[in-house]
Amino acid sequence: MLEIDGLTVAYGGNTALKDVSLSVERGTIACLLGSNGAGKSTLMNTIAGLQTPGRGRIMVDGTDVAQWTPRRRVRHGVALVPEGRQLFGDLTIEENIRLGGYTRRGRFDDELRDIYRMFPRLAERRRQLCKSLSGGEQQMVAISRALMAKPRLLLLDEPSLGLAPVLIRDVMQLVRDINAQGITVFLVEQNAHLALRISDHAFVLEKGRIVKSAAARDLMQDKELTAAYLGTA
C-alpha cells in the first residue's frame, strides 16, 4: 500500500529526513518509533502532502504521489490524523466530522451512521462544541473525521498523546478495529509497548534515518531497542 524510496526533506536549513526508504504492506498495521525530533511527524506530514520532499518517491497503491497536493492524496485514499488532533473548537462534533468528507460529494448519512455506531458517545453529543470535549473524545472526533474520507491508508500521528492510560488502550483497540475493516494503518506512537503489540511491522527512525526495520514481534525482543525506547515497563 505504501512504498517510500530515497525520501529527503529539508526545511529551515536542516535536513529532517535523509534518504528514507520503507514499505507498508496492504492490510497491515505498521508503527514508526523514534525519539523526539527524529523526524516522525515530518514523515507523516510528507506522506500526507503537507511537507514537500526535496527528492524521493512516495508510492501509494502503486502510484507516485510525491508531487501531488494534499487534496489529491485524500482522493487517492490517504488520510492523516495529525498530532494534537487539530480540530475546530467552535464547531460541533458533527460539523468537524463532516469536514473529513470535503473531497467527496453527497450527504454522508451512511458514513455518519457507521461512525456513530463505532463511537456512540459522539452520537449522543454530536451537537456539542469540540472545545468542550475531553482529550479522549477529541481524539475520537479526529479519527472519525479521517474515516469520513474513506481512506485506504490511514496515518495516525501520536494518537495517544495526552490521554489517560485507560484511554490509550481504548485507542489501540480502535486502531485494530479500523484495520479489521481492511484499512492499512501507519502509526507514530509514543507508547512503544502498545504500538508494537498491535503492529505487524515496525520501523525505528533516528536523526531522520531509518535504522531498524523488522517484524514488530522481533523488535520487542531486541535488547538494544528495548533499552532505548521501551524502558522497563
> Given strand 209-215, what is the order of strands in its sheet?
78-81, 153-157, 184-188, 29-33, 201-206, 209-215
Q: Residue 138 pLDDT more than 90? A: yes
CATH class of the domain whose range is 2-88+151-230 = alpha beta
Of 39, 41, 7, the C-alpha closest to 155 is 41
Q: Give the CA angle between residues 169, 170, 175 to the nearest 5°.
A: 95
Give the model's pLDDT for residue 3. 98
- What percent of the chain clears pLDDT 70, i.e. is strictly above it? 96
Give the model's pLDDT for residue 190. 84
Give the model's pLDDT for residue 191. 85
The Cα 138–Cα 66 span in angstroms is 30
Q: Where are the domains of the chain?
A: 2-88+151-230
Give the model's pLDDT for residue 230. 62
Give the model's pLDDT for residue 52. 92
Question: For 110-132, how does the pLDDT look when each residue is reduced to its tens digit (9 = 90+)?
Answer: 889 999 999 999 999 999 999 99
Residue corresponding to grid cell 479489521 = 180
Assigned C-alpha cell, 1:
500500500
Q: What's the predicted TM-score (pTM) here?
A: 0.92
Question: For 189-210, how does the pLDDT look when each residue is reduced to its tens digit (9 = 90+)?
Answer: 988 888 999 999 999 999 999 9
Residues in the chain: 233
Supply the mean pLDDT for the chain. Answer: 92
Give the model's pLDDT for residue 160. 87
Q: Residue 165 pLDDT more than 50? A: yes
Give the model's pLDDT for residue 218. 92
Give the model's pLDDT for residue 188. 96
Number of neighbouring beta carbons within 10 Å of residue 7:
24
Mean per-residue pLDDT, 1-26? 95
Of 188, 8, 162, the C-alpha closest to 175 is 188
Q: Residue 233 pLDDT more than 60? A: no
Of 30, 45, 82, the C-alpha closest to 186 is 30
Give the model's pLDDT for residue 231. 53
